[in-house]
Structure 1
Amino acid sequence: MTRLCVAVSVALVFFTLAPLEAAAQLRNLTFKIHNFTTKVDHFSYRNNDTFQMRYVVADQHWAKWRGPIFFYPGNEMRVESFVYSTGVMWEWARHFTALLVFAEHRYYGESLPYGENSFKDLEHMAYLSSEQAMADYAELLTWLKNNLEGAKNSRVVAFGGSYGAMLAALMRVKYPHIVEAALASSAPFKMFPGLGSCDRYYRRVTEVFEKSSWGCARDVSRTWPVLDKLGSTPEGCKTMQEKFRTCHNLEPGNYPEFRDWIRRTYSVLAMINYPFAVTYRGPIPARPVKKACGIIRSGMKTEERMVDAVAKVVNMVYNSTGNNSCNNVYPTANMHAYKFQECTELIHPTCTDGVNDMFYPQEWSPEKFAQRCRERFGVTPEFDRMLKKYPMPDFFKTASNIFFTDGSMDPWAAHGLAHAPTIRTKYHLIEGAAHHVDLQFAHRDEPRPYWNARSFARWFIAHWISWYS
């Protein structure tokens, strides 16, 4: 039996997104990529290995001796992804006369502590954690301030989206002497076991589809029995393999994983449901959820057309240009690293029931999850580990100078803080917004609430860093 290795869970992905009209601007972004030597292990004396962490610097607007440092603590992608996607940092750099610094998260991109052996076994992967990554960033910032002419007294503002937003906010609390303020967009601090029901995320995805097009959730739910029938036979699987253009054989034995991949596609669409066209793995139209709903509805007349419609939606996300010969559902090295973190830190229980959401019944089983982690990485998850390290929501009770944002139409907002944890922090819910839209380049077609959110955040950040002047 051929096994499809797919990402069946929902990753805290910071998508490489930019408005299509900003694509020309991307060619004019001037920056330099550097390497910084840092420790593999910051917290013990047993391992003295070092590795090269990549980081990006853009200084065209920086006023030495007085301009702040805008810092992006990278999350689960290559550092270039954040350089091209975090438009708010580029757009504010001129106003603040800021130095831009983007760092690459260890074990992602090219910042591999042990090169091609980084994912060889648990011994090599054991140093992949949020604490180690934040220690990397703290060392980098300290080095820059001590060695870059004019940076010694620069105030540091951390920007982050999704997992990066969590890192930005946590760095403000853990390293307040290094990071003076933070903008944390779409930070799902309540995603962990014990902080809510497992059905919240996919119920919110369903809500996004239903609000975008009335009756869409019902239409999507009608497609699953049709797909399940095909997935139960070798002939049906071969038909779907051709229609979905998968790079690997689809068989009844691995159909459940394939089905989860389709479910995740709807999650992706909900996250990137912006009111303007963006580039993802190709051009994505404005309001793609509404577009997807129209495609699904057009296939409701026959079972064959239903399957064709679902395949068309999947290809709209992963192969919109049609240039790819097939859809490769195997995880990349970055996804492999994230799957490890998902077993050790970023545990996100999800479940669906097919009644209160548009999907199929699937329970969350801690036992099965733990078994998969043991089989794949040799680790047994500690389901309360993150809450022991960062007890939510109490962890932020003494926090200051953090501007939290969520989008009301972002599925991850189901795990957001929902309010400012202290009077010295701010929380803003962006009406109608998808995943970390306030970090993107501004767009002429964006609604007023997007502009308001950026304006509020900019005012408070300017106010906060002025305290240190």
Structure 2
Amino acid sequence: MGFQALTAVIFACLCFACDGFFTGNIHRNIERQISNDVQGHKDEDKPVFQQHWISQKLDHFNGADSRAWKQKFLVTETYYRTGGPVFLMIGGEGPINNQWMSTDSGSTWLTYAKKLGALCFLLEHRFYGDSHPTVDLRTENLQFLSSQQALADLAHFRTVMAKQLGLTNSKWVAFGGSYPGALAAWSRLKYPNLIHAAVASSAPLHATVNFSEYLEVVWRALAAENPKCPLLVKKAFDTLNELIKDPKNYENITKDFNLCSRLQIQSEKDRAYILDSLADSIMSTVQYNNDNRAFESALGTNCTIKTVCGVMSEESLGEPYYRFAAFVALRTTTYLLQPCFKDPTYSANLQDLRNTSYSGPASGGERQWLYQTCTEFGYFQTSDSPNQPFSGFGLQYHVEQCLDIFNISTKTLYAGVDQTNENYGSYDIRATRIVFPNGSIDPWHALGITSSISDDLPAIFIKGTAHCANMYPARAEDIPQLNLAREHIFQILQKWLKEK
């Protein structure tokens, strides 16, 4: 089937009221003709893809609710061969990125698709990107934003596409990284009749309100580069914590960290907010250390743990406090290409997060994801552990955001997190044919599976790599462990695709 025919088929199945079906084969002669709404390439090594929409129920768990909405997805049959599998990449807490379907170097799942002859879909998550189930992001509408609803979207998408494109007997493999990695694992757990196997990269399968382990991994990652590095960061942050208590120091702190506006602290939440924001400069650097996100046009990819520890070890910059300030300024201007470090107060950030418009300042995913953490996952990266370099943004600060923004109580938050672990099994997931790649530098591995549960639930723990590293395009400078992990995952997929 060519893309013109594929377009017609998909259009016929977009609406629940439509009852037209296509009985042909997807692998007919391909005419690489791209419609006006498509972004892609015309080269056998660069997948041609199309953008389409499918109708989904607003509430999959209420048969009396007939409301529907349109969900965005991308598709490419560039590598598809007769009898090949179907790969379903799951979107997460932001817009789907076209580069995962079309890139010069080739993201890892597409290299697998080329070898295995797979048809590839990329499905955007409800409430993120262009996939808007409701008219806005009011809290009463966000009740339909949950992992369970998202999994039901995946199941319906798989069922409709399989029926319309003659892929009912094909083996579907779910892919995802981070939260979508958890969704990939849970799709296999909840819908084993629909999903044959899953690759759950950097997947946080255990929900927890207080994710204090995150910063413990940050400490260890810095120490692996230089044992003195986290100690220097801690000393710098301790000094900052003392200075920030006195308003007389605000002007100097503003200059030291190249803040966009003069530091203003009118509440304990303001203090916690700026401390959390400054600490995030190092937290994010560690999480994405050496990950090849440049192909997504991500900024800051050259800022690494080595950069952090190099600056923190530079005695000519003065005391550790000034070195930390120098690193924040360097990362902001040189790596993120921003003129200054944005530092709105907690109240200003609160105003952004309370904006319910899809065009609001936090609609790119911040408001939606915070709602999910407040209702399902927690995942709050607090400074409560003594075995980490930061302080000043404890659990209470994070929990109160749920109340301030969504009026979600602490009791409701804990109940939602408990329900998530009860529903999916946490670390004790009971399923088969799921592989769990994780990196030792990635703080999220603390909530994932890093030791194999069984032959059918293998873990691949990649020493020296960070968040979702195995998913990105391969590079010459990749460490051998990463290359071996990618090959190991491929061998596992080959084996599982031979199983019934």
Q: Match of 1:165?
A: 181
1:191 positional shift: 4.2
* Alignment-derived partner of residue 428 in structure 1: 460
**What's the counterpart of residue 34 of structure 2?**
none
Q: Is the 8 A contact 1:292 1:313 kept in 2?
A: no
Map of 1:139 onto structure 2: 156
Structure 2 CA distance for aligned equivalents of residues 362 and 313 of structure 1: 23
| In the alignment, structure 1 residue 375 sits paired with structure 2 residue 395 | no
Distance 1:245 1:105, change over 3 A: farther
Verify: 1:443 aligned to 2:443, yes or no.
Answer: no
Amino acid at match of 1:460: I
Structure 2 equivalent of residue 270 of structure 1: 286
Of stretches 325-334 and 207-216 in structure 1, the one that deviates more from structure 2 is 325-334
Say whether 1:327 aligns with 2:342.
yes
Q: Say whether residues 1:49 and 2:67 are aligned partners.
A: yes
Equivalent positions of 1:255-266 (< 5 A) are 255-266=271-282
Per the alignment, in what secondary structure is the counterpart of residue 208 of structure 2?
Answer: coil
Per-residue CA deviation, residues 49-98 of structure 1 (Å, 9 max, x unaligned), is 211111111211112x4121111121111111672698111211210111
CA–CA distance in structure 1, aligned partners of residues 161 and 212 of structure 2: 44
Within-5 A mapping of 1:144-159:
144-148=161-165, 150-159=166-175
Higher CA-based Rg: 2
What aligned pairs does 1:239-250 form with structure 2 within 5 A after superposition?
Answer: 239-247=252-260, 250=263
Residue from 312, 335, 359 that aligns with 2:329: 312
Asked if structure 2 preserves the Cα contact closer than 8 Å seen for 1:244 and 1:327, the reply is: no
- 1:88 paired residue among 102, 105, 108: 108
Cα distance change on mapping 1:328 and 1:100 into 2, 3 Å: farther
Distance across 2 between alignment mates of 1:198 and 1:188: 11
Query: Which segment drifts farther, 330-339 or 304-313?
Result: 304-313
Q: CA deviation at 1:189?
A: 1.6
Please give the alpha-carbon distance, in whole angstroms, between the structure 2 residues aligned to 1:358 and 1:304: 13
CA shift in 2, pair 1:273/1:409, >3 Å: same
Residue aligned with 1:182, SS: strand
CA contact (8 A) 1:393 1:421 kept: no
In the other structure, the counterpart of 1:30 is 48
CA offsets 1:354-375 (integer angstroms, 9 cap, x no match): 742111265434xx65543233
Name the stretch that deviates more: 36-45 or 252-261: 252-261
Shift, 1:341, TM fit: 0.3
Matching residue of 1:222: 235
Partner of 1:61: 79
Determine whether 1:337 maps to 2:337. no
Distance 1:242 1:99, change over 3 A: farther
Please name the residue that 1:393 is paired with.
Answer: 427
Q: CA deviation at 1:463?
A: 1.2
Unaligned runs of 5+ in 1: 1-24
Q: CA deviation at 1:269?
A: 0.9
Specify the alignment match of 1:12 in structure 2. Answer: none
1:356 aligned to 2:373? no
From the superposition, tell whether residues 283 and 28 of structure 1 become closer, same or farther in structure 2 (CA, over 3 Å): farther
Give the TM-score, by structure 2 length.
0.78
The letter for the 1-side match of 2:164 is: N
- Displacement of 1:257 in angstroms is 0.3
What amino acid is the match of 1:406?
A: N
Structure 2, unpaired ranges of 5+:
1-42, 354-361
> How far is the alpha carbon of 1:426 from its aligned partner?
1.2
Q: In the alignment, residue 347 of structure 1 is paired with which amino acid? A: G
Identity %: 24
Task: Provide, for residues 16-61 of structure 1, a one-character-per-residue CA deviation record: whole Å limited to 9, x for no partner.
Answer: xxxxxxxxx9x95532111111111000134322111111112111
Given that 2:272 and 2:393 are in contact with CA atoms closer than 8 Å, whether structure 1 keeps it comes out as no
Any idea what SS the aligned residue of 1:60 has?
Answer: coil
- Aligned CA distance change for structure 1 residues 238 and 385 (closer, same or farther; 3 Å): farther
1: CA distance, partners of 2:298 / 2:256: 19
CA separation of 1:229/1:328 partners in 2, compared to 1, >3 Å: closer, same or farther? closer
Q: Secondary structure at the match of 1:190?
A: coil
In the alignment, is residue 112 of structure 1 matched against residue 132 of structure 2? yes
Q: Check if 1:298 corresponds to 2:314.
A: yes
Q: Note the C-alpha offset of 1:293.
A: 1.3
The one-letter code matched in structure 2 to 1:89 is: W
The structural deviation recorded for 1:261 is 1.1
1:200 aligns with 2:220: no
Deviation at 1:190, TM superposition (A): 2.7
Aligned length: 428
**Contact 2:202–2:437 (CA<8 Å) still a contact in 1?**
yes
- SS in structure 1 at match of 2:97: helix
Q: Distance in 2 between matches of 1:439 and 1:82?
A: 12
- CA shift digits 1:124-168 (9 cap, x unpaired): 1110000001111111111111112x5333211111111111000
CA distance in 1, matches of 2:455, 2:320: 55
Q: Equivalent residue of 1:61, what SS?
A: coil
CA distance in 2, matches of 1:297, 1:56: 46
Contact between 1:201 and 1:414, CA under 8 Å: does it hold in 2? yes
- Provide the rounded CA distance (Å) in 1 between the counterparts of 2:454 and 2:256: 52
Q: Mark the CA change 1:347 to 1:433 in structure 2 (over 3 Å): closer, same or farther.
A: same
- CA distance in 1 between counterparts of 2:48 and 2:312 reads 42
8 Å CA contact 1:74–1:82 kept in 2: the answer is no
Alpha-carbon distance in structure 2 between the residues aligned to 1:94 and 1:276: 20
- Are the structure 2 counterparts of residues 459 and 408 from structure 1 closer, same or farther at C-alpha, using a change threshold of 3 Å? same
Q: Does 1:77 align with 2:129?
A: no
Q: Is the 8 A contact 1:226 1:307 kept in 2?
A: no
- Confirm or deny that 1:461 pairs with 2:497: no
